[in-house]
Amino acid sequence: MKVKALRDKNTKEFIHFFEMGEGTLIGTSSIPNVQPMSASLEMMKSMYPKARFDGLNDMKNFELMEYDFIESGEVGADIRNKLTPHQNLVALVELLLEEEDPDEYIKLKKFIRKEIVQSKECVNYLANLL
């Protein structure tokens, strides 16, 4: 799921707002303050009009970044699923190396070619995952 989070352009730390009496304090953290995808800098400014920005009245040092919010364990399961074609490919190659029947050898080569295509797609997916 995609979310947005406000962060400092210079320090790359996430920005958090804390309502304190008549004003709003700003804090930073390594943990994002998750906002909906509809969030904008203008909306954030309007939500915290009394925020103190170290003497500045704007958010010029802040940026609203888009992030993927991933459930714990989801990436691991995705990686395991993407490894299946590689496991199949290894098993098929092992069978091919032991096969003596020419007809079965040809059949195995067709399966191996299909698994090679799947394996390439999975490698590209995994390479761009994080």
| Percent of the residues in the chain that have a pLDDT greater than 70, as a whole number | 91
pLDDT at 76: 77
Q: Which pLDDT tens digit goes with each residue over 34-60?
A: 888 888 888 887 777 766 665 544 577
pLDDT band with cut points at 50, 70 and 90 for residue 105: very high
Range among 52-61, 67-76, 83-92 rated most confident: 83-92
Fill in the amino acid letter for 95. Answer: L
Integer CA distances (angstroms), 7 to 52, 53, 54, 91, in order = 16, 13, 15, 48
What does the pLDDT read at residue 60? 78
Provide the pLDDT for residue 15. Answer: 87
Query: In the chain, pLDDT over 90 holds for what percent of residues?
Result: 32
Q: Is 91 left (phi over 0), alpha (psi -120 to 50) or beta?
A: alpha
- Position 114 scores a pLDDT of 94
Give pLDDT, residue 85. Answer: 92
Listed by start position, the domains of the chain span: 2-68, 74-127
